Amino acid sequence: MRLLTLLTTCLSVAAAATLGKRAPTPGQLSQVTSFGNATTAAGFYIYVPKNLAASPGVIVAVHYCTGSAQAYYNGSPYAALAEQYGFIVIYPSSPHSGTCWDVSSKATLTHNGGGDSNTIANMATWTVSQYNADASKVFVTGSSSGAMMTNVLAATYPDIFKAAIVYSGVPAGCFVSASGAVDAWNSTCAQGNSIATPEAWTDVVKNMYLNYTGARPKMQIYHGSADTILLPQNYQETMKQWSGVFGYNYSQPQSTTLNNPQSGYTKTVYGESVQGIYAENVGHTVPIRGTDDMEFFGFAS
Q: Phi, psi at residue 208, to the nearest 5°? A: -75, -25
Q: How far apart are the first and last CA of the chain?
A: 64
Q: Phi, psi at residue 92, to the nearest 5°? A: -70, 155
Catalytic residue list contains 144:
yes
Residues contacting 243, CB < 8 A, separation 6+:
198, 249, 250, 253, 270, 271, 274
Angle at 248 between CA 264 and CA 137, to 5 degrees: 75
The helix or strand, by DSSP H or E, that contains position 142, with its residue range, turns out to be: strand 138-143
Q: Which residues pair with 275 in a beta bridge?
A: 220, 269
The answer to whether 212 and 206 have CB atoms below 8 angstroms apart is yes
H runs (alpha helix) in the chain: 2-20, 69-75, 78-85, 115-130, 145-156, 187-190, 198-208, 233-245, 290-297
The answer to whether 170 and 148 have CB atoms below 8 angstroms apart is yes
Q: Which of 104, 144, 145, 243 is catalytic?
A: 144
**260-265 long-range Cβ contacts below 8 angstroms, 24+ apart:** 261/289, 261/292
Q: Is 174 helix (H, G, I), strand (E, B) or coil?
A: coil
Question: Pairing mode, if any, of strands 58-62 and 88-93?
Answer: parallel
C-alpha distances (whole Å) from 198 to each of 93, 195, 241 are 32, 10, 5
C-alpha distances (whole Å) from 38 to each of 60, 66, 128, 173 are 16, 22, 16, 22
Active site residues: 144
